[in-house]
Amino acid sequence: MGARTDTRQKMLYSAVELLRERGSAGVTIDAVLARSEAPRGSVYHHFRGGRAEIMTESLALAGDAISAIIDKAVEQGSVAALRRFGQFWNTLLEQSDFEAGCPVVSVAVGSSPDDRHLQPAVAGIIQRWQAALVAALEADGVESGRAIRLATMAIAAIEGAVILCRVNRSTTALDDVIAELEMMVTAVVAAD
């Protein structure tokens, strides 16, 4: 039973890596098998729904992993959460030699018509991130409407910075965005 589960997990983690590096179009059965070194029969055995099932489960896995990081970070406040999220992306970008981006965003912007069924899941994941940041901001004393706008801006700015980092092969854009967001949130918290 352990080996079967390991093969399934390797396939899912491989799909997440492919999402980060190549976007949803790069998640093919052949690419998942090659990355995970799983035998071809593993697809039918573990994922009877084929690529669609692999995409659904790998998106959920990636979304849950990033959400867990955000959920843990917001326990220490909104500024700490921004710093932690910035550190997470800096590490991932540098370790991947700037090849890895956000697997969730890759599905949002680069999916084919075959992947449209994933859009509600993408929306739910991003809403989960926003809700966590909103809760942290509100706990820091920021008014609800402002907290929603700041959380939206933070997610958009950080995800955009990750793209710039990949293009420029440098974490400067992300470092700058996190620094500016920190100053803005600190000022808003002090004013409210």
Q: In this predicted structure, which of 1-10, 98-107, 149-158 has the lowest mean pLDDT?
A: 1-10
Does 15 fall in a domain?
A: no
Q: How confident is the model at residue 112 (pLDDT cuts 50, 70, 90)?
A: confident
Does 72 fall in a domain?
A: yes
Scanning the chain, the segments in alpha helix (DSSP H) are 2-22, 29-36, 41-46, 50-74, 78-95, 103-110, 119-139, 144-168, 172-191
Measure the CA–CA gap between 29 and 149, rounded to whole angstroms: 39
Q: Is the confidence at residue 4, as pLDDT, over 60?
A: no
Residues near 165 by Cβ (< 8 Å), separated by ≥ 6?
89, 93, 98, 171, 172, 173, 174
Does 134 fall in a domain?
A: yes
Q: Which of 148, 136, 17 is nearest to 70 (CA)?
A: 136
What are the pLDDT digits (tens) for 32-68? Answer: 999 999 998 888 889 999 999 999 999 999 999 999 9
Q: How confident is the model at residue 115 (pLDDT cuts 50, 70, 90)?
A: confident
Q: Which domain holds residue 80?
A: 56-191
Q: What is the pLDDT of residue 5?
A: 67
Q: How far is Cα of residue 188 from the mean position of the Cα atoms in its chain?
A: 26
Single-letter amino acid code for the residue at 36? S
Does 34 fall in a domain?
A: no
Give the domain CATH number at 173. 1.10.357.10
**Long-range CB contact pairs, 184-188, < 8 A, 24+:** 184/150, 185/78, 185/79, 185/82, 185/137, 185/140, 185/142, 185/150, 185/154, 186/79, 188/137, 188/142, 188/146, 188/150
Measure the CA–CA gap between 33 and 36, rounded to whole angstroms: 5
Half-sphere exposure for 8 (CA within 13 Å, toward CB)? 14
pTM: 0.88
Does 33 fall in a domain?
A: no
∠ CA 59-62-21 to the nearest 5 degrees?
85
Measure the CA–CA gap between 30 and 33, rounded to whole angstroms: 5
Measure the CA–CA gap between 8 and 142, rounded to whole angstroms: 43
Q: Is the confidence at residue 11, as pLDDT, over 60?
A: yes
Q: Which of 162, 11, 159, 22 is nearest to 91 (CA)?
A: 162
Does 19 fall in a domain?
A: no
Does 107 fall in a domain?
A: yes
Q: What is the pLDDT of residue 1?
A: 40
Does 5 fall in a domain?
A: no
Q: Is the confidence at residue 123, as pLDDT, over 90?
A: yes
Domain total of the chain: 1
